[in-house]
Structure 1
C-alpha cells in the first residue's frame, strides 16, 4: 500500500470512528422520542383546550407554570416544529446520498 493509500485509509477510519457513535446515539434518541411522542400529542391537544383555559384562568399566583404556562407549552410546540423541519431536511440529505 502506498503512503497516499495509507493516508486515505486513516482518513476514512477517523470518519468511521466519529460517525458510528453518533449514528448509534441518534438511533437511541429516535427510539426514546418515539416511545414518548404520545406525551407531546397529549400536551399539544391540551394546550388551548377548554379544560386548559379553565384551569389556566383559575390558577392562583405561582400555579400558572408548567403545563398551565402559555409560554412553556407554546415554546415546546415551536421547538417540536423546528425539530420536525430539521429532521425533514436531514432525511432529504440522507436519502440523496444513500
Structure 2
C-alpha cells in the first residue's frame, strides 16, 4: 500500500466530449456537454459545443476549442457567401 498519494499508481482517466443527435418525426435535436477541459483542469464549465450553421444545419465540436470555434465561424461565413453568390442554399451533400 502506498504511503502517500504521490506513490499511488496512476489510474487511467477517460475523457472526451459528449455530443448527441436525435432524429424524430418533427426534425432533429443536437445536444452536447458544456465542460471544456485542459488536461485535468476544467477550463470552462459553460462552453458552447453545438452551433447553428444555417437555418437547416448544425455543427457540434470536439477537440481544441479555439480552432474548432474558428472553423465553425468560417463554415457559417462560407454558407452565407454561397447563398449570396448563387441565390440558393448549399445542399446537405455540399455541406457534408
Select the structure of larger CA radius of gyration.
1
Q: TM-score, normalised on structure 2?
A: 0.31
Greater share of residues in helix: 1
TM-score (norm 1): 0.31
Larger strand proportion, structure 1 or 2? 2
